[in-house]
Structure 1
Amino acid sequence: MKLNPKEVGTERDQSDRFWRQYAPDEWRQNGWRITRPLAGVPFLLTIKDYTVGVRGPHGCEPTYVDCLVDQNNSFSPVHFPHAAEAQFACWSLFRQHPTLHPRFILGRGTQFSSAPWTEALWALMEVERHMVEQRRGPQGCAVIGQRRNRNSGWLGSEQSWFIARSDAGELQQRLFKRSAPERGIVKVGLINRAGSRRVVNADLLAARLIRTLARHNLSRSYSLSHINDLGDFSFEEQAHWVHEKDVIIAPHGAQNTNFVWARRCTSILEIYPANYFIPGLYLQLARAAGAVIFAAHQGRQDMSKVFNYRLRRAVRSRNIFFDVEAAASTLKLMLDARLQCLGSVEM
């Protein structure tokens, strides 16, 4: 992914604006900075983020709504989480025109993911797909729209995934049966990764979190699930695993595209390696689902490592040793934040 200052923000942004806007309530423990990030940062698209018109004979009555994705408004959509950025943005556009037949149009020369996760999401959306091989797209009178810009997730270019929270909610309703979670049982999920950014002390971390839960006035009304690689599951299994959790802790990575399936008020912590702090990507998706978000990282961002592809690749590939005491303290805050969120929803 090629980045430029407009898509990342500047080093001055990091020093002057970062802590004021991103981390107004930061706290530190054993070298880790824990934050409730993205304060004041919008997390939803608006229709103004799209270029929208009508294609077809003059005065025609549209029967289709087409969403165009090309190299100008998408980042490397051959990778399934970046494909999901385009899919979700188009899904929101389609829902703006519920009586029209939705069609996804892939621009010439744009490679798109064929991963099982991507294909399963298409099936859930029930969207017709076309690839533009010539200058003209598919036939028929259509409302045609496309996102104006692409966002990288970095400071100043935070990603927005949907126009409305209800867009994520509709996908959840399509996938899940209406069943209430078990009352009184707090389900905590710890996700790891098989490759880079793996939490190398995950077993110790899980054991410490279990002790924290037992001492948090929860008696035996909790459970903790620890999964080595969410990618070992099918699309539906990944979604259900996330959806049933009340608290989720995960390193930054593609598996967190599944944050879209989180229930409202789920408390989510994303962990980052040093010099790769990018909460403006998957935590923005968690916000769209209605989750309460937390972030854990070490130190300020060295933007020279973001702009340089070789250095960026090196820092984002580092495994993570997450301090267990910092994790335990954060879990208590996450449990309290979840209860506070649930209380405000019920009012």
Structure 2
Amino acid sequence: QFIQALQDALGVQLMMTEEHQVATTIINTTENVAAEPPPSRTTIVQRRGAIGSFRHDAARGFAMAQALDGNRLRDGILSYYNITTHQDHHHAPLSLAGCAPMRATGDAYPESHKRLPVIGFLNRQGTRRTTNHEELVKVIQERFGARGNNNQSFQTNNIRRNDNNTDDFVFYYQDSFDGMSFLEQITFMAKVDLIIGPHGAQLTTIPFLPNCGAVLEFLPKGYIYQHYFGSLATATGHGHMTLYTGQNQTKDGTYFMKTLPRRNKVRRKSIWVDPVVLVNAMEHMIDNWQKCCRRQQS
């Protein structure tokens, strides 16, 4: 469906090749959490009350000549299918997402750009499902003030984030992309600024996030594979972070990633995410998103 959309929307003919490129990821440890704006990526190692981070270079599992090409691809497909103007099945206008000044209150767009991004939680069915998603949704509600019903769409009004600004916070939970069409999937991605959720094929829709968008990817214990979707995010100019849900990334990676049978076993595991670590990581994502939008508005 994606290839067909590319051909229909952009008027190109795509050909498959058998060329593969091998890239090596260099890991540098840092003392503090620093989820850098694109194209850098950060891995968060889960520990209650603290976050340890590992910053990676941009391994090129996916590549484009420049991130602007990813923007053209996204905008061309969304425009072709009229996704940029209509409302989704929750009756939420897609224009809520992105850095556009239409969300500003008052006559001028706030220079500090302190409003909250639209956040989506994209879960999975089957392997690598985040099993404590209900707990995480509740904690996100409590931390950021979201209220909602049916575990699907949460919208709030007048959430105070600091002494100088009050703004709306919109949060969506999607249990999986199973049974959803390609257009429904990219519509979901187009209406959120930041996406959180487990590692999996559903993240191939990262290119359809708005400008300054980013993803926080949950990795099951023993499965150390940050560069796959990280390189896709980098190629399309989006931010990428991984939250490793084990305790010792170096030790676990040395053992579980050493052989294919072990790797296949751990990649099927369900995922439990520490709520404290998650909301702290989300704060860093939000801060980076706001900084990115300020740069775009300057």
TM-score category by the smaller chain?
Answer: 0.5 to 0.7
Work out the CA distance in 2 between the residues paired with 1:8 and 1:329: 31
Distance 1:187 1:36 in 2: 26
The aligned counterpart of 2:293 is 342
Distance in structure 2 (CA, Å) of the matches to 1:240 and 1:210: 23
1:273 to 220, 238, 258: 220
Change in Cα spacing, 1:330 to 1:24, as seen in structure 2 (3 Å) is closer
8 Å CA contact 2:117–2:289 kept in 1: the answer is no
CA shift in 2, pair 1:233/1:314, >3 Å: same
Task: Verify the 8 A CA contact 2:44 2:54 in the aligned structure 1.
Answer: no
- The aligned residue for residue 69 of structure 2 is 167
Find the residue that maps to 2:262 and give its secondary structure: helix
Matches within 5 A, 1:227-266: 227-266=174-213
Runs of 5+ unmatched residues, structure 2 = 1-20, 35-42, 86-93, 97-102, 105-115, 146-158
CA distance in 2, matches of 1:36, 1:334: 15
Deviations 1:4-40 (A, max 9, x none): xx9586xxx8xxx52349x9847663187554742xx
Mapped pair 1:286 → 2:240:
no
Cα 1:32–1:283 shift into 2, 3 Å: farther
In structure 2, C-alpha distance between the alignment counterparts of 1:31 and 1:207, rounded to whole Å: 18
Q: How does 1:280-319 map to 2 (within 5 A)?
A: 280-297=227-244, 298=246, 299-301=248-250, 302-319=253-270
1:19 match: secondary structure: strand
Quote the residue 1:30 is aligned against. Answer: 48
Distance (Å, rounded) in 2 between the aligned partners of 1:216 and 1:283: 32
| Correspondence list, 1:1-347, <5 A | 17-20=26-29, 25=34, 29-30=47-48, 33=51, 35=53, 37-38=55-56, 41-42=57-58, 158-177=60-79, 181-182=95-96, 183=103, 186-214=117-145, 217=161, 219=166, 221-297=168-244, 298=246, 299-301=248-250, 302-347=253-298
Residue aligned with 1:276, SS: coil
Contact in 2 for aligned 1:267/1:293 (Cα 8 Å):
yes
Q: Which has the higher contact order (CA 8 A, sep 6+)?
A: 2
C-alpha distance after superposition, 1:142-166 (max 9, x if no partner)? xxxxxxxxxxxxxxxx413322212
**Secondary structure of 1:307's partner?**
coil
The change in CA–CA distance for 1:267 and 1:211 in structure 2 (over 3 A counts) is farther
**Corresponding residue of 1:134:** none
1:202 maps to a residue whose letter is: H
In the alignment, is the contact (CA less than 8 A) between 1:196 and 1:319 conserved in 2? Answer: yes
Taking the aligned partners of 1:220 and 1:346, their CA distance within structure 2 comes to 18
AA matched with 2:182: F
- Is contact 2:70-2:237 (8 Å) kept? no
3-state DSSP of counterpart to 2:95: coil
Structure with the greater alpha carbon radius of gyration: 1
CA distance in 1, matches of 2:225, 2:203: 13
**1:299-331, CA deviations, whole angstroms, 9 ceiling, x for partnerless residues?**
224234223111001111111110111111111
Structure 1 residues 198 and 216: alpha-carbon distance in aligned structure 2, compared to 1, 3 A threshold: farther
Distance (Å, rounded) in 2 between the aligned partners of 1:336 and 1:266: 12
Q: Give aligned-pair identity as a percent.
A: 19
CA distance in 1 between counterparts of 2:29 and 2:281 reads 21
TM-score normalized by the length of structure 2: 0.65
d(CA) in 1 for partners of 2:44, 2:258:
28
Is the Cα contact below 8 Å between 2:206 and 2:233 reproduced in 1?
yes
Note the C-alpha offset of 1:42: 3.7
Structure 1 stretches of 4+ with a deviation exceeding 4 A read 6-9, 23-28, 31-34
